[in-house]
Structure 1
Amino acid sequence: MIDLQECRNEIDKIDSDIIRLFEQRMKVCEDVAEYKIRTGKKVLDPERERQKLEVLRGKAHGEFNQLGAQELFQQIMAISRKRQYQLLTEHGIEDDEKLEMVDALPLKDVRVVFQGVEGAYSYAAMREYFQDDIESFHVKTWRDAMEAVVEGRADYAVLPIENTTAGIVADIYDLLTEYELSIVGEQIIRPEHVLLGLPDAELEDIRQVCSHPQALSQCGKYLESHPDWKKKEMENTAGSAKKIKEDNDKTQAAIASRQAGELYGLKILAENICYNGQNATRFVIVSKKPIYVKDAHKISIFFELHHESGTLYNMLSHIIYNGLNMTKIESRPITGKNWQYRFFVDFEGNLKDSAVKNALRGIEAEADRMRILGNY
């Protein structure tokens, strides 16, 4: 009859041997790192690892143990690379600086662009972030805002990137990968959606509601209570209020802010129409200058991977292993590559932190493509 305690004692002995051998292996890996530091050789050698995993898998018996051996040594090799990245940092081997640290953002005498018109939430976010006198102008689309910064017609653009109710603004994520701009700040505002109509309109007159798709989504439950109302998507919330004013049709209403209603002389027909009382929108401030302030505490990156098992875990493990707190992850499909995705990750830290350097060094070395979107 099997004695459970004897089995446990045997496992404890084997585990102790594994720890001893693991530490012995890590010591040799440190010697390998020293060689690579002297010669400039890259930490990751994919073909060498592939061949070694194939050999080690073949030494195990049975399909289950073979798969287990492969996974075990994949993790051991990943840990070894992480130690080598640490040693590179400790020896002062720096990657090229992607962003330049500054004491403070240049906010005096700047031009800022936002999508929409005065009274839009992007406008409100801009006024909240840039409290000093600035020169601002608006454009029709988010791409137009990006182009204005790239061309030097604006120093900064204010762009909505996510909402607590409707989720991410996917187009902004895609544009951030297309344009070489840096996120240098963020501003969170709480949109207070109201239903606006002409001064002589009443709720029973309404047949169509206009607004930006995000606002229509955020007020979806309220709109469902009026199933006979048609919904019309607009480029922004304030623009929908402007349309109501210009059309002078009391069967139309807009979902927008109180400020937009005041700006265009409209009447509030309904308040508190967003079902999420904590509804908030996060805006990012982007600049052509690749800079970050010295007390920045959040980093945004994106990376692309081979479509293989375990690759996402391997990337995220660099963040986890270095004790960094990941605050967000999103994925977007890569155009022209079916079923392959680009991942966007936010985590806490500053580009001068050793742990951040280690994590970014590992991700950049092992991803197909990686870029720091900003430290802010």
Structure 2
Amino acid sequence: MHTEPDKALSDGPQSLYPEQFEQLMRDLYVIAPVVGKQLDYAYLDKAAVLRPRRGEGRAPATVVYSGVPGSFSHKACTQFFGNEVPLRNSSSFREVFDLVDSEQAAFGVVPVENSLTGSIHENYDLLLEFDLKIVGELTLRIKHNLLGQPDASIEGLERIYSHPQAFQQCREYLEKNPGWDLIACKDTATAVGRVKEGSDPKEAAIAGEGADQVVRLAILKEGIETNPRNFTRFVVISRNESLPGPQNKSSLIYSVSDKPGALFETLRIFALNDINIVKLESRPIHSRPWEYLFYVDLETDVSEESRRHILAELVEKTEFFKFLGSYNKGS
């Protein structure tokens, strides 16, 4: 972009005026997350929170995720915080919550919802169990590839390893190959590792972009997900930390009494305050059959001073209430 467009030496069709460049960047900002890229520099402000820290009671400047390098959770960490932030992998979602809750890590990144297969209920249950807050959010496009040994062929495959959700997201492709045995793993990165270690051309794994580079397997088939508009929503959790930027989304959990109109009374509070509900889902209450909790996402910051009366009204209308946090809505 030339600082004085009228004096630029390029041909007219090749040049962009400031207004055109601004529109181009706005379009690229929307497209970038779809192809797994990041255009803005907001991650620099987030990473700054984890710079060398002083004082007692501060968790280590680390972000923890479930899985191994190359997994979707690992990719979500680097997309949100950048590549310079110290990362720590764990063996399970529960361990992520444990490490953040015990302040062995400042932040954790966990998936909570997929656009095709729905909510990841384990993590919603953990949000209820632990006293942690959601402080950030991002959406990651999920693209699945079929990975195998360099000398393998699709026709010769017999066993396919992956996470159960990956099998669901690639259902149409897998149904075209009914002779394959589908073997579930705890995550896609583990599946890739098993195929790599086995060195068997009859075995393959379903995993995301970049996993082949980590373990040097061959891509036998690219983009096998049923729907290319396949996205997973991740949230960033923390015990005491916060992140810079506007807070325009909030998450809640609550239950209501078993009587007509009880749920409506809570929803009415949102309507009267002109608040948009972007998610409403029920989950069974453990040890209390046929009773339910409601998980709610709102397009507003209910922790803001002018909105705090909403929390007080909800507490009055509910039997159980938990505020999960306000944060910046992910792109």
TM-score bracket, normalised by the shorter chain, equals 0.7 to 0.9
SS at match of 1:276: coil
For 1:225, the equivalent position in structure 2 comes to 176
One-letter code of the match for 2:308? K
The 1-side partners of 2:117 and 2:69 are apart by 23
Q: CA deviation at 1:258?
A: 2.7
For 1:163, the equivalent position in structure 2 comes to 114
For 2:235, the equivalent position in structure 1 comes to 284
Matches for 1:1-376 after TM superposition, within 5 Å: 106-109=49-52, 110-131=61-82, 133-289=84-240, 291=242, 293=244, 295-353=246-304, 356-376=307-327
Q: CA deviation at 1:204?
A: 1.1
One-letter code of the match for 1:278? R
SS at match of 1:356: helix
Q: CA deviation at 1:360?
A: 1.7
The 1-side partners of 2:75 and 2:121 are apart by 21
For 2:25, the equivalent position in structure 1 comes to none
Q: CA deviation at 1:359?
A: 2.2
Q: TM-score, normalised by structure 1?
A: 0.70
The 2-side partners of 1:305 and 1:291 are apart by 30
- Alignment CA distance shift 1:198-1:312 (3 Å): same
The 1-side partners of 2:228 and 2:51 are apart by 35
The 2-side partners of 1:246 and 1:144 are apart by 25
Q: How many residues align?
A: 274
Q: Is the 8 A contact 1:200 1:250 kept in 2?
A: yes
Q: Is the 8 A contact 1:188 1:283 kept in 2?
A: yes
Q: Is the 8 A contact 1:333 1:339 kept in 2?
A: yes
- Alignment CA distance shift 1:164-1:156 (3 Å): same
SS at match of 1:373: strand
SS at match of 1:242: helix
- State the Cα deviation string for residues 124-172 of structure 1 (Å, max 9, x = none): 0000001152211111110011001111111111100001111110101
| Percent identity of equivalent pairs | 34
The 2-side partners of 1:372 and 1:108 are apart by 28
One-letter code of the match for 1:324? I
Q: Is the 8 A contact 1:322 1:355 kept in 2?
A: no
One-letter code of the match for 1:273? I
Q: Which has the higher helix share?
A: 1
The 2-side partners of 1:351 and 1:307 are apart by 26
The 2-side partners of 1:291 and 1:260 are apart by 31
Q: Is the 8 A contact 1:107 1:130 kept in 2?
A: no
- Alignment CA distance shift 1:288-1:352 (3 Å): closer
The 2-side partners of 1:182 and 1:353 are apart by 15
Q: Is the 8 A contact 1:324 1:356 kept in 2?
A: no
The 1-side partners of 2:142 and 2:189 are apart by 12
Q: CA deviation at 1:214?
A: 1.2
For 1:3, the equivalent position in structure 2 comes to none
The 1-side partners of 2:83 and 2:168 are apart by 33
One-letter code of the match for 1:183? I
Q: CA deviation at 1:308?
A: 2.0
The 1-side partners of 2:128 and 2:256 are apart by 15
Q: Is the 8 A contact 2:106 2:241 kept in 1?
A: no
The 2-side partners of 1:216 and 1:175 are apart by 24
One-letter code of the match for 2:138? Q
Q: TM-score, normalised by structure 2?
A: 0.79
Structure 1 residues not aligned, in runs of 5+: 1-102
The 2-side partners of 1:259 and 1:277 are apart by 17
Structure 2 residues not aligned, in runs of 5+: 1-44, 53-60
- State the Cα deviation string for residues 264-300 of structure 1 (Å, max 9, x = none): 1111111121111111111000001164656200000
SS at match of 1:289: coil
Instruction: Identify the range of structure 1 (221-230 vs 120-129) with the bigger mean alpha-carbon deviation.
Output: 221-230
| Structure label with greater radius of gyration | 1
RMSD value, Cα: 1.7
The 1-side partners of 2:294 and 2:64 are apart by 27
For 2:40, the equivalent position in structure 1 comes to none
SS at match of 2:302: coil
SS at match of 1:119: coil
- Alignment CA distance shift 1:184-1:306 (3 Å): same
- Alignment CA distance shift 1:267-1:290 (3 Å): closer
Instruction: Identify the range of structure 1 (269-278 vs 346-355) with the bigger mean alpha-carbon deviation.
Output: 346-355
